[in-house]
Amino acid sequence: MTGGFETGPVATAAAAALVTALAGGLLTTTGPWYRSLRRPSWKPPDWAFGPVWTTIFTLTAISAVIAWHAEARTSARVALLAAYGVNLVLNIAWSGIFFRLRRPDWAYLEVIALWLSIVALIAVTAQASGIAALLLAPYLAWVSVATLLNRAIVRLNGPFGEARPARSIGSRV
């Protein structure tokens, strides 16, 4: 511990969680395109996503603060910041790829990267605090479900993307 409770990390973790949640929310649209997708029968109800993500972002912020306060080494703190930062960027990117680009196939590849970033985040966090790492378990569980759901949506609805117009013989591209 670095001696005394630092309030800066609390504010930073809260702000990072809030920005990530807001950005992801702004990129998420459940309009006609999304509603037209075939989804598996086991998909969680739409109303559950808000409370689950709120809980996950809260636990992630708490985890970050605990890990930060438990770790005094600068190099380890840099690793924590990098792991959390990469993870938050990947979290936001998924919503943009899935909902804005309307590419569940690309989002499936991205959510695998997100899942791996959570595993890495847990590993880095565990070096500072086992409790902080455990607080990330619901995040990994939920993104595991999201990964399976994304895969099912791709299988039920693919292929995605606009078809290219056929080229006539002799045309140049």
Q: What is the pTM of this model?
A: 0.85
Please report, in tens digits, the pLDDT of each residue of the chain (173 residues total): 445 667 787 788 888 888 998 988 899 888 899 999 999 999 999 999 999 999 999 999 999 999 999 998 999 999 999 999 999 999 999 999 999 999 999 999 999 999 999 999 999 999 999 999 999 999 999 999 999 999 999 999 989 986 544 444 444 44
Q: What superfamily does domain 8-157 belong to in CATH?
A: TspO/MBR protein (1.20.1260.100)
159 preceded by cis ω (within 30°)?
Answer: yes
Domain spans of the chain? 8-157
| 53 Cβ contact partners less than 8 Å away, ≥ 6 residues apart | 21, 24, 142
